[in-house]
Amino acid sequence: MNKRVAVLGASGHTGTFVVAELRRRGFTPIPCGRGTDLDAAFQDADAVINCAGPFASTAAPAITAAIRAGIPYLDVTAELEVVRDTFAGFADAPIPIVPAAAFYGGLGDLLATAAASSWPSLDQIFIAYGLSSWHPTSGTRKTGQVSAQRRDGRRVMHTGGTLRFRDGDAPRGSWTFPASFGTHDVIGEFTMADSVTIPTHLDVPEIDSCMTANAVADLHGSSITPSPGLSSQRFVVEVVARSGTSERRAWAGGQDIYAITAPLVVEATHRLLSGEGDKTGVATLGARFHPADFLDALSPTHLTGSW
């Protein structure tokens, strides 16, 4: 597919993976650094992928420019407030918009949609994130600071069918992950963008989540991801969907949460430009594409698991 894709933040950590994956898939990347004239850059592009955080500053201007150019827009934000704002502000946009087509927001959404299957409604979705380590990029730290400021330092959780703030200490426990990842101490109510993407198309009042405690400690530490290149970090994401007394599970594992974002967003770009899931307006990976088929396309090169 000889298509040109503009990449905002192409020189960043995640952007570097995205550019490489685009080239591997036969696309021509158009790298866009900060200060690039978006209208000029998008003029000859067939789609745009935004990898430039904090997305609270970059998403809306990039979407508006993509609308003027008449091309699909995708981003890799993990900022749940940005995902919420994108749905609120661009629901009737005349182009396809896919926010959070990434490890956070996209992968959990696909797994939850696969687990929910034909159930018309659910009582709860639980997401367990297992990371062997987490050395955040400088971009992750900056976006985290922006989100924390917007919440006044409070936690947030999807409960009672909406996002609500939480005070006090997060609950702690343990979780036995699938495959060989094992049992780990976890921090509960660790809400990420999946808690915004999932309820946009699945009827679920409660979404809870947890993260391995060692990864939370790393996140609050001072080290950052060395640049660039595939890290040794391993991850497992398990989703449990519950409806009445029934329960379904789906999970996926792989290497490097930043690296896996590239095949996720590029696969979505490929499908959109092929005419699949290309309805206009804002919709997530799980809403636009058949989740099992999408995940199958990334297996076993990028993901292993059961969905």
pLDDT at 69: 98
DSSP state at residue 111: H
Q: What is the mean pLDDT of the chain?
A: 94
For the chain, first and last CA: distance in Å?
28
Residue 228's pLDDT is what?
66
In a 10 Å sphere around its CB, with 0-12 CB exposed, 13-18 middle and 19+ buried, how is residue 102 labelled? buried
Residue 174's Cβ-count burial label (10 Å; 0-12, 13-18, 19+) is exposed
Asked if the peptide bond before residue 300 counts as cis, ω within 30 degrees of 0, the response is yes
pLDDT band at 226 (very low <50, low <70, confident <90, very high): low
The residues spanned by each domain of the chain are 4-103+259-306, 104-257
CATH T-level assignment (fold) for domain 104-257: Dihydrodipicolinate Reductase; domain 2 (3.30.360)
Residue 149's identity, in one-letter code, is: Q
Q: What is the pLDDT of residues 259-285, one digit of tens each?
A: 999 999 999 999 999 999 999 999 999
The residues, any chain, with a CB within 8 Å of residue 19's CB and separated by 6 or more, are 7, 10, 29, 31
Bridge-based pairing of strands 73-75 and 47-50 is: parallel
Please state whether the peptide bond connecting residue 54 to the residue before it is cis, i.e. omega within 30 degrees of 0. Answer: yes
CB of 124 closer than 8 Å to CB of 230: no
Q: Is 156 helix (H, G, I), strand (E, B) or coil?
A: strand
From CA 84, how far away is CA 16, in angstroms rounded? 26
The 10s digit of each residue's pLDDT in 82-137 is 999 999 999 999 999 999 999 999 999 999 999 999 899 999 999 999 999 998 88
Residue positions counted in the chain: 307
**pLDDT tens digits, residue range 15-32?**
999 999 999 999 999 999
Q: How far apart are CA 178 and CA 303, in angstroms?
A: 14
- pLDDT value at 35 more than 90: no
Q: What CATH class is the domain 4-103+259-306?
A: alpha beta
Give the residue with greater pLDDT, 260 vs 179.
Answer: 260
- Distance of alpha carbon 197 from alpha carbon 287, whole angstroms: 9
Q: DSSP strand E in 41-120: where? A: 47-50, 73-75, 96-98
